[in-house]
Amino acid sequence: MSTLRTPRELADRDLISPGQLGEIERVAEHYAIAISPAMAALIDRNDPNDPIALQFVPQVSELMTTPEERNDPIGDLAHSPVEGIVHRYPDRVLLKAVHVCPVYCRFCFRREMVGPQGLGTLSPDALDRAFAYIAEHREIWEVILTGGDPLVLSPRRLSELMQRLASIEHVKIVRFHTRVPVVEPERVDAALIAALRASGKTTYVALHANHPRELTPAAREACARLVDSGVVMISQSVLLKGINDDPNTLAALMRAFVETRVKPYYLHHPDLAPGTSHFRLSLEEGRALVAGLRGRISGLCQPTYVLDIPGGYGKAVISPDAASMRDGCYAVSDFRGVEHLYPPA
Ligand SMILES: *Cc1c(COP(=O)(O)O)cnc(C)c1O
Ligand code: SF4
């Protein structure tokens, strides 16, 4: 079985109906499609709201773009000093070596840049310039490989990248943002893991998953292989309407990460990517969901809820209500929502 990439293949596998073929062909002209064998197998064809299908099977609503949506929702281009590098924060850069993914998420924030019609893979010359930039900027403590999904690269290419980073003394941390352990767990083999560890630097892997069902036994085993080899894992999820915007699903997702030794890191508010308004909920709804996790599930399971500020200003934490002042005291709420007073200093 191989990755499904065309509307025809989706129809043949019962993921869209033959009557939808025309409109989904139109979506395919704009946005890349890929559903890996592991994710195709996980979809429940009998559930019209299956949370795995909603993430990967294209829908006609993607053709509708709203005025506030933008092609570069988080402003990568505004902070790209050389091709393939995004340098928004002083001590860390994104290195986008590939713009290909093993699956294409329908809500992707970089959907205008990824896929066969996207920005492609960095040329050898562009890669040289990107490494030269990292080497020249001594304030860069961490390099974050993202894209696209860097783990689609072969172990040979990955270990080349890691060896080049190994030679840059001021880089101490290499972080990968990926969906591979979940969507293509068989790819996480000894050769790939050896490549990730090739630099002798500290390797972090941020795993992108949005629904607890994605943490299949095979996915959990892939993560176990990474963690056992000394990679530190953290999570990254997007809060998505109809997929994980309820307290039980979010709690189960965060617990599944912790059980898998993946520390919950970020829960992203959805970005203003074109054709994704059907996935967006309000900030108040998001804030209420996140506040509901506190106390209800272990502190280990708490993600930080963040919003990428449109235009390239970076991430802002959307915290549940902080302490307010009442009767000259700080008013704080416990996990049941009951207010208590704390004296000022
Ligand atoms: C999100 C992001 C990072 C990583 O931010 P952390 O808060 O360290 O996870 C780094 N650079 C850019 C451009 C980003 O968008
Ligand atoms: S894996 Fe990431 S970059 Fe690729 S389509 Fe999904 S959200 Fe976009």
- Say yes or no to pLDDT of 77 above 90: no
Catalytic residue check, 201: no
Nearest to 76 by CA among 309, 301, 294, 256: 309
Point out the ligand nearest to the CA of residue 276.
2
Compute the distance from residue 207 Cα to the ligand 1 centre, in Å: 14
Residues 117 and 249 in one domain: yes
The annotation places the binding site for [4Fe-4S] cluster at 101, 105, 108
Q: What is the pLDDT of residue 28?
A: 96
Residues 147 and 3 in one domain: no
Catalytic residue check, 308: yes
Residues 47 and 163 in one domain: no
Total structural domains within the chain:
2
Catalytic residue check, 315: yes
Cα gap 248→218, rounded to integer Å = 23
Point out the ligand nearest to the CA of residue 240.
2
Residues 30 and 93 in one domain: no
Catalytic residue check, 301: no
Cα gap 114→101, rounded to integer Å = 7
Residues 31 and 119 in one domain: no
Residues 106 and 6 in one domain: no
Residues 205 and 312 in one domain: yes
pLDDT band at 323 (very low <50, low <70, confident <90, very high): confident
Asked if residue 331 belongs to a domain, the reply is no
Asked if residue 330 belongs to a domain, the reply is no
CATH of the domain at 158: 3.20.20.70
Residues 212 and 254 in one domain: yes
86 CB near ligand 1 (under 6 Å): yes
Asked if residue 98 belongs to a domain, the reply is yes
119 CB near ligand 2 (under 6 Å): no
144 vs 321: which has the higher pLDDT: 144
Residues 79 and 51 in one domain: no
Q: What is the pLDDT of residue 312?
A: 86
What amino acid occupies position 299?
A: G
Could you say which of 50, 72, 96, 101 is catalytic? 101
Q: What is the pLDDT of residue 93?
A: 98
| Sign (positive or negative) of CA dihedral 147, 208, 225, 201 | positive
Asked if residue 274 belongs to a domain, the reply is yes
Asked if the peptide bond before residue 148 counts as cis, ω within 30 degrees of 0, the response is: yes
Compute the distance from residue 296 Cα to the ligand 2 centre, in Å: 30
Asked if residue 339 belongs to a domain, the reply is no
What ligand 2 atom has the least distance to the C-alpha of 238?
Answer: 7
Point out the ligand nearest to the CA of residue 79.
1
Asked if residue 135 belongs to a domain, the reply is yes
144 CB near ligand 1 (under 6 Å): yes
pLDDT digits (tens, 9 = 90+) for 116-162: 888 888 999 999 999 999 999 999 999 999 989 999 999 999 999 99
Of 117-126, 237-246, 262-271, 300-309, where does mean pLDDT reach its minimum? 117-126
Residues 112 and 181 in one domain: yes
Residues 120 and 5 in one domain: no
What ligand 2 atom has the least distance to the C-alpha of 178?
Answer: 1
Compute the distance from residue 338 Cα to the ligand 2 centre, in Å: 40
> Domain range spanning residue 160?
65-317
> Left, alpha or beta for 68 (phi > 0: left; psi -120 to 50: alpha)?
alpha
Q: What is the mean pLDDT of the chain?
A: 95
Asked if residue 55 belongs to a domain, the reply is yes
DSSP one-letter code for 211:
S
pLDDT band at 63 (very low <50, low <70, confident <90, very high): very high
Asked if residue 260 belongs to a domain, the reply is yes
Residues 75 and 88 in one domain: yes
